[in-house]
Amino acid sequence: MDLLRSLPLGLYLEQPQTWLHKIDPRVKFAWLMSFLTSYVLANNFWRVLLVVILILATLIARIPRRVWQQQMGWLLILSFFVLAIGAISPDAMGVDYQPRLPANEQILTQQAFSKNIVQEPASNSKYSYVLFHKGPVKVTRRSLDLAVRLSTIIFTVIYSTNLYLLTTAPEEITSGIESLMQPLRRFKWPVTEIALTLTLSLRFIPLVLEEVQNLFRSVMTRAINWKKLGLKGGFKVWMTVAERLLENLLLRADQMANAMMVRGFTSPNEHRVQWHDLRFKGRDWLAIASLILFWGIRIAIGTQV
């Protein structure tokens, strides 16, 4: 099992360079925040539209199929199961559902004429709170609404973040965030230190996956008989593995810190490396204009009534 290939979450795709790679990281960060915040107080149409936009952006960018197929596939399967389970789950309203009019409409009309009450004709539209009910399976409007919300937010949050990390190098991310955080220097915020910490943490993600992969392989090669160990014995084995994983990660972090100190990186302000020259180009202004249009459509048709 190769976690670095089967679960490439948070990894940067160096080749091929798509048009998403060439957009300024600050603009892409604004798009990412828009995907994560436009979901608030939005209707279900907009939530589903976000999922469609993410899928179309992946296809239009011509990202290799081997990169996104497994990630998108597993996320879509997970979202579908969440949608199905949420739709048939109780909506927690605790209401006894009954029709607005009695089953025998003649009783109502007779009472109205007997009391000389003039009534308006009933509406032809048939509203039903219960959308589907057969045996123990019941889907209501409330449960379906909650299911759509939960399933779409899982896909949107995970895949939009992964797509951003897939098409943006860690150095570009930190440079863009540091540029956006420049006004905080007036309040004596350690902007450079925050950017350096973010760079190191992004670089540390592949190391964590590598350590998990090596420990998993070491457990599998020992051919442990889990049935003989039982629940308590298996728990002790995995606790030992988790302890070893923590020790290895701390050792990697200590080695990284020592390597930086040997090379003289004692202060980020004294050893700043300009990774990228951040300047807006034509494609960036087009992305900004598209972002403005994105929020315009969100306000026009995506607001929950």
Query: pLDDT per residue over 197-250, tens digit each?
Result: 777 777 777 778 788 888 888 888 877 777 777 788 888 888 888 888 888 888
Quickly state the pLDDT bin for 291 (edges 50, 70, 90): very high
Contacts of residue 280, Cβ cutoff 8 Å, sequence gap at least 6: 24, 27, 288
Query: pLDDT per residue over 80-122, tens digit each?
Result: 999 988 888 877 655 555 556 555 555 555 555 455 444 444 4
Residue whose C-alpha is closest to residue 170's, from 193, 204, 137? 204
Label residue 180 exposed, middle or buried (CB < 10 Å: 0-12, 13-18, 19+).
Answer: middle
Contacts of residue 256, Cβ cutoff 8 Å, sequence gap at least 6: 200, 204
- Is 90 exceeded by the pLDDT of residue 292? yes
Domain boundaries, the chain: 1-93+131-168+279-305, 187-273
CB-based contact 24:284 (threshold 8 Å): yes
| DSSP 8-state class, residue 187 | G
Label residue 47 exposed, middle or buried (CB < 10 Å: 0-12, 13-18, 19+).
Answer: buried
Query: Token pair for residue 91?
Result: 């909506």
pLDDT at 176: 83
Residue 120, phi then psi, degrees to nearest 5: -80, 150
Whole-angstrom Cα distance, residue 283 to residue 25? 12
Amino acid (one-letter) located at 293: L
User: DSSP E strands: which ranges in 67-206?
Assistant: 130-134, 137-140
Whole-angstrom Cα distance, residue 251 to residue 9? 23
What's the whole-number average pLDDT of the chain?
79
Locus of tokens 């298996």 = 234
| β-sheet bridge partners, residue 180 | none
CB-based contact 83:151 (threshold 8 Å): yes
Whole-angstrom Cα distance, residue 15 to residue 184? 35
Pick 74 or 56 by higher pLDDT: 56
Query: Token pair for residue 31?
Result: 């798009």
* Number of residues that this document lists for the chain: 305
Residue 140, phi then psi, degrees to nearest 5: -110, 170
pTM of the model: 0.70
